[in-house]
Chains A and B, each alone.
Chain A
């Protein structure tokens, strides 16, 4: 049952090119445009970290958080828009299996984006990291993306079914910029620099940059704690939005 459901969830997302193509290819395209030109330059004078490696970490964070928010946002919105939830609820499918199947699918998709991005950075960007650094980067971005699952859920239930994608873009893209995922934070206006330490994506980015050895502003334990806090908050909002929807439709 879980295998079938997961396979179905995967196909549903895979066959929406607006999701599968953009989530797999956009990070690579951004990497090509912004990262490749200066990939072999040191991150700053005297650093042994290349910009290529630094920007790889940025795009890994961007890509994985993107998959998490969008896959959950889109599937929740679709379901509400097409009234799929009604029929599903009348079947003997346990809700937990349903939720689990979507999580597995999203993690699988996220891993897939890394499987495209990493070799691209290695071949085209000449990025060389230790095996342990590749591994640390991969597991940190997968683990650190959990709060964004909840954020996707929350937006899926709070926004109208047709406006979900627009709302996510409106939130996600600007915060990705403000968190320094596209340009190092030091290049951003001062007011944004003051806000960025409080953005979940900034904390998530720190985990990625630290994984490849780039210096970060605080200890990564602080970043994990921030992310855990955001995770709890987002899950609370998602749960509240879900219950609101339930009581509206099924009481």
Chain B
């Protein structure tokens, strides 16, 4: 069976600026994949090329082994884009029906609206929706065709914490139906909660492609934090850490040998308070991987 989505050595230049420098990604049917990276890393460009919205400068993109602009390929794909609008003068149920008509085997209108949690707004005009509701409408439009693959570009951007949590559950519900989900995010906890595979993109190249747990363990086992107002960079020199940062006297270290590091710091006579040692989370791993 052909992969659900595939980028083969894709590069993209906007004028002189290289947005992608040779990205190869293969996503199998049923996978839930998060593409992670700082702003401007090339996530949206990757998605746009996969969807046929932009042409790669070199290399190629395939959906189910077909060109992304092929309508048969597109009929298996649901999309939620950053920065896209829908007609303001249509009602929610009307526009959901419209998008359903594009697909060969759509889900029912009520089901699509329920999956997005928009039951109460089904008869409202699009222009009457709040920002969060609009975002949910885009989700309804993405899933209403009952697609095999769902592409979500920064789906929770601009949502509050509660809204994001509920939204993540909706995406997870869709993924549990055995569908492929590809989402980009810079919220690391989203990737951790949803995805079985995380692809880290930075400066247009893939720097890691592994399950979230492996990415965490690859970088550092433990995070050491303490406060030491008078500390200098020199006092942290020569320690066996994978990353070190001082901000306003707050020190954060990532290390696989926290005991040895602390012993050395005490030997050097570093004054510290509020010492804390904890397992590193994905965010720490991410910072360590993308810090230059």
Contacts and interface: CB of A to CB of B under 8 A. Distances in A.
Interface of A: 1, 3-5, 8, 11-12, 15-16, 78, 82-84, 86-87, 89-94, 250-251
* From B55, B86, B101, B125, residue with most partner A Cβ within 10 Å: B101
Contacts of B101: 1, 3-5
Contact of A92 (B53, B55, B71, B95): B71
A90 B71 contact: no
A91 B99 contact: yes
A84 B75 contact: no
A94 B89 contact: no
B84 interface: yes
Contacts of B51: 90
Contacts of A15: 89, 125
B39 to A, nearest CB: 19
Interface in B104-155: 125, 138, 141, 145
A84 B83 contact: no
B79 A83 contact: no
A87 B84 contact: yes
A83 B84 contact: yes
B71 A94 contact: yes
28 contacts: A1-B102, A4-B97, A4-B101, A5-B101, A8-B90, A8-B94, A11-B89, A11-B90, A12-B90, A15-B89, A82-B85, A83-B85, A84-B85, A84-B87, A86-B53, A86-B84, A87-B86, A90-B52, A90-B79, A90-B81, A91-B74, A91-B79, A91-B99, A91-B102, A92-B75, A92-B145, A250-B53, A251-B54
Contacts of B89: 11-12, 15-16
A3 B98 CA distance: 9
Contact of B81 (A5, A11, A82, A87): A87
Contact of A87 (B71, B85, B94): B85
Interface residues of B, number: 32
A4 B98 contact: yes
Contacts of A82: 85-88
A92 B63 CA distance: 13
Contacts of B95: 8
A77 to B, nearest CB: 13
Given A82-B87, A84-B86, A250-B54, 20 more contacts: A3-B101, A4-B98, A5-B101, A8-B87, A8-B98, A11-B89, A15-B125, A82-B86, A82-B88, A86-B81, A87-B85, A90-B51, A90-B52, A91-B79, A91-B102, A92-B102, A93-B102, A250-B53, A251-B54, A251-B55
A86 B98 CA distance: 16
A96 to B, nearest CB: 11
The 10 closest A-B pairs by CB, nearest first: A82-B85, A4-B101, A15-B89, A87-B84, A92-B75, A92-B74, A90-B79, A8-B98, A86-B84, A1-B101
Contacts of B145: 92
- Among A4, A86, A90, the most chain B Cβ lie within 10 Å of the Cβ of A90
B64 interface: no
Contacts of B103: 92
Contacts of A83: 83-85
Contacts of A89: 53
Nearest to B99: A91
Contacts of A91: 74, 79, 99, 102
